[in-house]
Amino acid sequence: MPSFQKDEIERYREMFPVTREWIYLNHAGVAPISRPVAEAVETFNRLALEQGYTGAGVWHKRIEETRADCARLIGASPEEIAFVKNTSHGLSLVARGLDLKEGDEVLISEIEFPSNVYPWMALEKSGVVLKKIPTRGPELNLDHLEKLITEKTRVLSLSSAQYGNGYRLPIADIGRLCRDMGIYFVLDAIQTLGAFPLDVAREQVDFLTADAHKWMLGHEGIGLFYARKALIEKLEPALLGWNSVARPLDFDHIHFNLKPDAGRFEEGSHNALSIYGLGAAVSLLLEVGVERISERILGLTDRLIQGLQAQGLQITNSLEPRHRSGIVTLRLPEDPEGQKLPDLERRLFSKKIYASVRRQNLRFSPHFYNTDDEIAQVLETLKSVRHP
């Protein structure tokens, strides 16, 4: 794929005014929004201000355009996409909707983000068995995965990349294993969607969810949910409302016929304002090209890792190419428990460098609009604040 030209990067950086003041390396946390996203929200507000609900036809057209773009982003069909308020919402739809019984088993990683833990833990009181795949250093022990699968295993639910160390799944391999063994494969894609290509059909994902506020460069509080077409009617909606049914605007006639597509999981009024923002964020990703974005991110993280290693710092994320993500993590050799890292994070913050501490690691997560110059400045600043 072609690389970015300097003037192209500068044009995209103009879309992110945060770059005027900050070196923003926390896209694995909460990303800044772009001008197109802010302008899309302003467009909706102006329509609502000047036209009220008389302009609803325009809103609904934009909602469906955004649904189609979200489908395109992950290789799905629009009928398989629902809008949710966040990743936790989507994961809970699956956990509550699959009608898991006493003795059924669910597999997750032992280092999952809480969003992909609590919905499954809540089922333990009904006798569902939660089993955890161990890690081996920074990597998930996939050799152990197959050994944990039994005839009672119903679900494997994993993050596409782990928040604490950036370990990226071989999604296609896992999808193939799950499909061959008749296990539902649930993907929390929030740590890669927008940064790395994904095709849910080719990679055999059954359910997927992701909030917009990380690598998708959108707002908090809006996300997408994917359910494979063949499984939509097998997933009982955990929430129901007037918009769940096939004729949602026929208010005067009660008919409990759920929509045949993923729209059945949108129980009430759409968050149109946030969907406008999501639409602009996804449009930008599609314009730039996710393949190009992933190459750019890996190039930036290569330079960051090399610079950190040159300073003698301990890299704690996987260095295996296929497991690399946009997340780079480190610990200080003299501080293996990570106790000094919050102070180091604060020192960087005071220098207008935004990183974060997760699971006793200092975590950097650049996006495509970051630059080599910024990485060089981070490395120099890190050296100076460690050895003032």
The CATH number of domain 39-287 is 3.40.640.10: yes
Q: What are phi and psi of 347, to 5 degrees?
A: -65, -45
Q: Which CATH architecture has domain 6-33+289-386?
A: Alpha-Beta Complex (3.90)
Is residue 354 within 8 Å of 23, Cβ to Cβ? Answer: yes
Amino acid, res. 171: I
Is residue 9 within 8 Å of 370, Cβ to Cβ? Answer: no
Q: What is the mean pLDDT of residues 282-309?
A: 98
Average pLDDT, the chain: 96
Q: Where do the structural domains in the chain lie, given as residue ranges? A: 6-33+289-386, 39-287
Name beta bridge partners: 245. Answer: 258
Is residue 191 within 8 Å of 323, Cβ to Cβ? Answer: no
Express each pLDDT in 25-73 by its tens digit.
Answer: 999 999 999 999 999 999 999 999 999 999 999 999 999 999 999 999 9
Q: What is the pLDDT of residue 3?
A: 80
Q: Taking the mean position of all CA atoms in its chain, how far away is CA 110?
A: 19
Amino acid, res. 253: H
Express each pLDDT in 230-282 by its tens digit.
Answer: 999 999 999 999 999 999 999 999 999 999 999 999 999 999 999 999 999 99
The pLDDT > 90 percentage for the chain reads 93
DSSP element (H, E) containing 39: helix 35-51
Q: Is the dihedral of CA 235, 241, 245, 248 positive or negative?
A: negative
Is residue 184 within 8 Å of 207, Cβ to Cβ? Answer: yes
Express each pLDDT in 313-344 by its tens digit.
Answer: 999 999 999 999 999 999 998 888 889 999 99
Q: What is the mean pLDDT of residues 149-166?
A: 96
- Residue 138 binned pLDDT confidence (cut-offs 50, 70, 90): confident
Express each pLDDT in 344-376 by its tens digit.
Answer: 999 999 999 999 999 999 999 999 999 999 999
Name beta bridge partners: 156. Answer: 107, 185
Q: What is the pLDDT of residue 140?
A: 83
Q: What is the pLDDT of residue 106?
A: 98
Strand extents, DSSP E, 46-141: 81-84, 105-109, 129-133, 135-136, 139-140
Is residue 130 within 8 Å of 275, Cβ to Cβ? Answer: no
Asked whether the predicted pLDDT for residue 1 surpasses 50, the reply is: no
Express each pLDDT in 29-41 by its tens digit.
Answer: 999 999 999 999 9
Burial of 231 (0-12, 13-18, 19+ CB in 10 A): middle
Structure token digits, residue 130: 């939660």
Q: What is the pLDDT of residue 295?
A: 97
